[in-house]
Amino acid sequence: MSVLYRRHIPLAITFICGLIILLQFFFVPANITEPWQSSLQYYGVTLTNWANLLANFIIGFGVVNISLIHARRIMRAKSWVDKFYSIWLFIVMAAFIVVGLFGYPRMWWTPLAANWDWLQLYVLTPLDATVYASLVFYMASGCYRAFRARTLEGAALLVVGFLSIMYKTPLFQAYAPWVIKTIDWIAKYPAVGAYRGIQVSAALGAILLGIRTLIGVETGYLGRRD
Amino acid sequence: MPFNGLPLDVLQIVAGRYLDLVVLLVIWVVTILGVNMLKRGWTPKWRKIAGLEALEEVVGRAAEMGKPVHFTPGYGGLTGTTSPQVVAGLAVFAELAKLCARYDVPIICSVGDPTVLGVAAELYKQAYMAEGKIDRARPEEAIRYLTGSQFAFASAVAGIAEREKPAGNVMVGPFWAESMMFAEVFYRIGSIQIAGTARIYQIPFFAIVCDYVIIGDEMFATGAYLTKEPYSISSIFVQDLVKIFALALTIVGLIAIHLGSNVFIEFLKW
């Protein structure tokens, strides 16, 4: 019973659902003409909606997990400094939940109505932008280490990297137009060739992973690898 | 189109998807044939994937240093177009958790999508159970949902790196702009790093900073590579066969176009 419940039934569900979505992709055109196409479309769309609903419902588990971790951290912390960020997380989480539930879309309590947008615009967006902007420093330190001519490949990377940076400067655009042509050529041919090679092989890998999943060989998504 | 009007039209396949269906069916059939050959005792030669071979090195280093190992499949989920990469990442996590359980090394799994949370927790428990140490499993501490927001997730992972200073960091899954941030932060604290993604714009970042990189299709072979089941080995073999076929098609197409023929382009649109 356990094997049936934990392995065979989930694998059968995966196979049937995967097959319906595949059939929908290959046999249902944009302009439906046959009743069987309409039925296939209905089942495909219903399954997709179920997946989206389940994914959103699971956010609740995420909230429980994050709450447990930080509650435990608050209880175990020896100083207020250690507790501070966990307490702050609960305060912000409560603020967002209250404003999200009661403030928008102007359902229950209108004084809170504009606050969701305010939180998004003046709290989340600047924070995101700040962290994103800090990326440039990480890139600079990464490039500093990468652009070292220790090997032939490293030297090639150094030259191309230097030219790519110089490509954007007015000095080189005015006095060394050959740099522009060289970088354009590198970006258009060798770089695109390498990217496409990776893209094609990655796409084939994804197809094989899909087939393994459909036939029940890849079981990692079930939470076990037996 | 020269490929329209073939007897296959009776099947009412959506226009432009004939070739996709044929390729899918051919791959499927060849995979099954490969399995049958493997069952008869044939074993293909395969190259080693350095990034996956190094998992033991990561855990060994952490055991010697008395520090945890960090893993993240990124903030992609089990629904959507990046889900195959997340599944591949979870296959690596299953193996990593098993090694950590074997050598009593704490593991931290940072999750950015709640759909991954339950699966990762279950894989973690299964790993400890397989090693006979279920009493030492602490999924509520090891598996951490951080947030679904990209840069908040990046900040949270960076915070874990700075506070807990893991000896090793393994990142396998879909990554976006946060990839460089993770790689640099863990480099700065001295972690040994294995990174893998199929997102081509992030591969150069990982290649620059990380010790081992799992590139493109290698990532989708991780589950098969680690489990070494006949079906899985067969699918890797088929993957390489199809890759060779795709390369041959590219060369044929190139020649055909240079000879002024559009047949190959029409064939791809079929």
Q: Residue A209: its chain B contacts at CB < 8 A?
A: 84, 87-88, 220, 223
Out of A131, A200, A211, the one facing B151 most closely (by C-beta) is A131
- Per-residue pLDDT band at A149 (split at 50, 70, 90): confident
Which of A11, A17, A130, A218 is the best residue to mutate to test the B interface, defined by the most B CB atoms within 10 Å of its own CB?
A218
What mean pLDDT is reported for chain A? 86
Provide the β-strand partners of residue B108.
B70
Q: Residue A179 in 3-state DSSP? A: helix
HSE-CB of B184 using CA atoms within 13 angstroms: 21
Residue B151 corresponds to which tokens in the numbers above? 């840069």
H helix count then E strand count, chain A: 11, 0
pTM of the model: 0.90
Per residue in B116-168, pLDDT (tens digit) is 998 999 999 999 999 999 999 999 899 999 998 999 999 999 999 999 999 99
Task: Please say if the pLDDT value at position A169 is more than 60.
Answer: yes
Contact B65, B104 (CB under 8 A): no
- Per-residue pLDDT band at A223 (split at 50, 70, 90): low
Per residue in B189-201, pLDDT (tens digit) is 999 999 999 998 8
Is the predicted ipTM greater than 0.85, yes or no?
A: yes
Residue among A10, A26, A55, A21 at smallest CA distance from A210 = A21
Q: How far apart are CA B104 and CA B136, in angstroms?
A: 9
Cα torsion through B185, B187, B188, B192, rounded to 10: 120
What mean pLDDT is reported for chain B? 89
Are A55 and B223 inside 8 Å of each other by CB?
A: no
Out of B91, B145, B208, the one facing A65 most closely (by C-beta) is B145
Are A142 and B209 inside 8 Å of each other by CB?
A: yes
The dihedrals phi and psi of B10, each to the nearest 5 degrees, come to -60, -30
Q: Residue B114: its chain A contacts at CB < 8 A?
A: 55, 58-62, 65
Q: What is the pLDDT of residue A107?
A: 56
Q: Residue B122: its chain A contacts at CB < 8 A?
A: 222-224
Residues 6 or more apart whose CB falls under 8 angstroms from that of A165 comprise none
Type of residue numbered B177: A
Q: At what angle do helices A190-214 and B230-258 cross, to 10 degrees?
A: 140
Q: Residue A63 in 3-state DSSP? A: helix
Are A134 and B231 inside 8 Å of each other by CB?
A: no
Q: Where are the domains of chain A?
A: 1-57, 158-217
Q: What is the pLDDT of residue B238?
A: 81
Q: How far apart are CA A68 and CA A86, in angstroms?
A: 11
DSSP string for residues in B75-108: T--SSSTTHHHHHHHHHHHHHHHHHHHHTT--EE
Q: Just give the CATH number of B50-220.
A: 3.40.50
Q: What is the rounded average pLDDT of the residues B27-54?
A: 83
Type of residue numbered B197: T
Are A213 and B87 inside 8 Å of each other by CB?
A: yes
- For residue B64, the distance in angstroms to the closest alpha carbon of chain A comes to 26
Q: Residue B223: its chain A contacts at CB < 8 A?
A: 209, 212, 218, 220, 225
Contact A157, A146 (CB under 8 A): yes
Task: Please say if the pLDDT value at position A226 is more than 80.
Answer: no
| Positive or negative torsion for Cα B42, B44, B45, B47 | negative
- For residue A133, the distance in angstroms to the closest alpha carbon of chain B comes to 10
Type of residue numbered A213: T
Q: What is the rounded average pLDDT of the residues B228-237?
A: 77
Are B21 and A138 inside 8 Å of each other by CB?
A: no
Q: Residue A200: its chain B contacts at CB < 8 A?
A: 243, 246
- Per-residue pLDDT band at A221 (split at 50, 70, 90): confident
Residue B125 corresponds to which tokens in the numbers above? 């428990």
Q: What is the pLDDT of residue B152?
A: 93
Residue among A53, A47, A54 at smallest CA distance from A16 = A47
Are B91 and A218 inside 8 Å of each other by CB?
A: yes
Burial bucket for residue B31 (CB in 10 Å: 0-12, 13-18, 19+): buried
